[in-house]
Amino acid sequence: MVSIFAGEAKDLIDRSSRPQSLIITIYGAYSRSLGGWLSASAIVSLCADLDVDEPSVRSALSRFKRRGILISKLQNGVQGYALSLEARKTFELGDARVLERREVPRDEGWVLVAFSIPEQKRELRYQLRSRLIRVGFAQVAGGLWIAPRQLTVDVTALAKSLNIEKNMNIFSAHHLAFQTTPSAVAEWWDLKDIGIMYKSFSATVQPLIRKWFTKKLVKPDPRAAFIDYTKALTNWRHVPYLDPGLPAEYLPKSWPGFTATESFFRIHDLLAIPALNYFHSVASGDLIKKSENPAKKK
């Protein structure tokens, strides 16, 4: 069993203060509503609201450009950055998993992944294993990995993104013998550490729950909504990937994932729309100011 969740739990505390993590959230949660492109000045302004200074923002943008996540692009004479095609596909695939309430499924079987990658491509093999973990799979033995059947779409997309379809086979399966399924699941996944990850997220979001729900607010302030929702989403968006979404009968009775999920979606339901409205006011307003000032176009 490969366990990375204790590290992820600690890491959650830091994500919402990292320029790279916040910029990815801005692009994933907001930019696609405007076509996936943002002016550089709009990104700097939005990150300033999140207490990230301009040098850190520009450094992060340069790294994303080198990695092929963002593409430098002029639009109407304004310098900015657009999502690459691959980054856009990744966000589109992840929308359902991150932003939709996951119903705890019944046991409808499993998806198995078997792969064989030559030794001379061991770096690719390592990358595949790491990414299998980060979409919710667990290692059964050697090159055999398992997840609940609903993750079939995720692993198929993963194989295509790494161009390893010829090295992989995907099966639909049921667990028949010789252990009980709950004991086998407890060996495949480290439920304790996944639970720690959820508890860590709940700790980061509790101040927001107290802030927004201890008194009745008629209408959230858009800027405050943008700040709080963006930080909460930055901490949340990795969590649903590391949790495979196991059937309820294989989870502890007091599963901390239930509380953490409910907390995130309370924040999401209240703040997502006013946060998006604030984003539009900054991103669109920046373009309007540029177009009204000819000197900026030169």
CATH of the domain at 143: 3.30.70.240
Please indicate, yes or no, whether residues 266 and 204 belong to a single structural domain of this protein. yes
**How many angstroms separate the CA atoms of 147 and 132, rounded?**
9
On whether residue 217 sits in a domain, the answer given is: yes
114: helix, strand or coil = strand
Domain boundary among 187, 216, 244: 187
Q: Are 178 and 140 in contact (CB under 8 A)?
A: no
Query: Which residues form the domain of 263?
Result: 190-275
Structure tokens at 268: 């999401």
- Give the whole-angstrom CA distance, residue 298 versus residue 136: 50
**Could you tell me if residue 255 is inside a domain?**
yes
Q: How many CB atoms lie within 10 A of CB 217?
A: 13
The pLDDT assigned to 184 comes to 93
Query: What is the C-alpha separation between 57 and 52, in angstroms, rounded?
Result: 7
177 and 203 inside one domain: no
Q: What is the mean pLDDT of each run of 10 residues along the chain (298 residues)?
A: 50 73 96 94 96 95 95 91 92 88 81 91 89 91 91 91 92 92 92 90 93 81 96 93 89 90 95 96 71 47
pTM for this model (two decimals) = 0.86
Q: Are strands 37-39 and 78-83 parallel, antiparallel or unpaired?
A: antiparallel
What percent of the chain is helix, strand and coil (3-state, nearest 5)?
Answer: 65, 10, 25
**pLDDT, position 207:** 94
How remote is the C-alpha of 208 from its chain's centroid? 20
